[in-house]
Amino acid sequence: MNEMIKNLLKDTFKDNVVFDVSAKDFTTFKTGGILSAVVFPSDKTHIELLFELWQKGIPVKFVGCGSNLLISDEGFDGIIAVTKKFSGIDYTKDNISVCCGTKISSLIKFCIDKNIAGFEFLAGIPGTIGGALVNNAGTKEKSISQVVLNVEYIDKKGFWQKEKKNNFVWEYRYSSLKNEAFFIFSTSLITEKGAAGEIKKKVSQIMKKRIQTQPLQYPSAGSVFKNPPGFFAGKLIQDAGLKGLKIGGAMVSEKHANFIVNIKNASSTDVWNLIRHIQQTIRNRYNISLDLEIETVGRFE
């Protein structure tokens, strides 16, 4: 990244920019190379500046908790914009407005405190609301798209928009926001009146199941692959005998085969090579393609 851009970022973001830092500090996989610049935007003017730079050909990637990312060992010669300063929840009797950088866990806590039901299914999903919208996060029973009213975002032409849910395409682990939005600012969600005790009970049951079935003690990015139509990715991987398979410091979890865990200073290349091996094995054995649920940033071969 050239000095002129660095100086512009310093002038704009002051103490809220760092240069040449490790991706390990910004992803839950704890892998990856050097990030040229990481900024922490806090208002719409910051987003508009980042849009201008993006238009000029400088790569810009928005990151919440880094829980769904695999960043290349070669790093990222662009701007990583961490959304945590866009955090907050406004509540009316009909809906709640949630900023993109709000952690899902914070939303769950808010709902318990305010006796709001209907969001328990999100319990235990790592990450932020912005990422949840882009990837239509959820479980096999329910996805966030089912509770969305509208979304405020800046589109890829630089215009701020506020659109109703039905103006977007929502599919399994996908929304058209991925293609249409440069940056998601906030969303309004439908609320249901509930009782704190019942909400807590449901959340506790979901969290207990996650702890029992997922390898939460190791760095990971959650489920690596989408479930192919009619199948579960984890079962396919397990039935192919790949549980426990290691490449370098990365391993197919023995607890949940759709998780790749960093057990010993894994590199992103270790993880990537394991991903490719799994995909090839499942293709050869079942003639099924496993598509990634996680997102890759940077160059992979």
Integer Cα distance of 215 and 124 in angstroms: 12
The per-residue pLDDT for 93 is 77
Q: Is position 293 annotated as part of the catalytic site? A: yes
The per-residue pLDDT for 1 is 87
Q: Say whether pTM exceeds 0.85.
A: yes
Q: Is position 198 annotated as part of the catalytic site? A: no
Q: What is the DSSP letter of 292?
A: B
Integer Cα distance of 39 and 57 in angstroms: 17
First and final C-alpha spacing in the chain: 23
Q: How many CB atoms lie within 10 A of CB 36?
A: 20
Integer Cα distance of 243 and 247 in angstroms: 12
Active-site hit among 173, 176, 210, 295: 173
Integer Cα distance of 208 and 202 in angstroms: 10
The per-residue pLDDT for 138 is 93
**Tens of pLDDT along 73-105?**
999 999 999 999 999 999 987 889 999 999 999
**Tens of pLDDT along 19-42?**
999 999 999 999 999 999 999 999
The per-residue pLDDT for 125 is 92
Residue 211: Cβ-neighbour burial (10 angstroms; 0-12, 13-18, 19+):
exposed
List Cβ neighbours of 284 (8 Å cut-off, separation of 6 or more). none
Q: What are the chain's domains?
A: 3-82 (3.30.43.10), 89-198 (3.30.465.10), 214-297 (3.90.78.10)
Q: Is position 192 annotated as part of the catalytic site? A: no
Residue with tokens 């003639």: 287
The per-residue pLDDT for 204 is 95
Amino acid identity of 298?
G
Where are any strands of DSSP class E within the chain? 17-22, 34-39, 60-63, 69-71, 76-82, 89-91, 95-99, 116-117, 148-155, 160-164, 170-171, 174-175, 181-190, 192-193, 220-223, 246-247, 250-252, 259-262, 295-297
Active-site hit among 36, 223, 267, 268: 223
Active-site hit among 120, 152, 180, 293: 293
Q: How many CB atoms lie within 10 A of CB 171?
A: 10
Read off the tokens for 128: 């932020």
Averages of pLDDT over runs of 10 residues in the chain (301 residues) are: 94 97 97 98 97 97 96 97 97 91 97 94 94 94 95 98 97 96 97 93 94 95 96 97 98 98 97 98 98 96 80
What does DSSP say about strands 174-175 and 69-71: parallel, antiparallel, or unpaired? unpaired
What DSSP line would sit under 223-270, residue for residue? E-BPPPTTS-HHHHHHHTT-TT-EETTEEE-SS-TTEEEE-SS--HHH
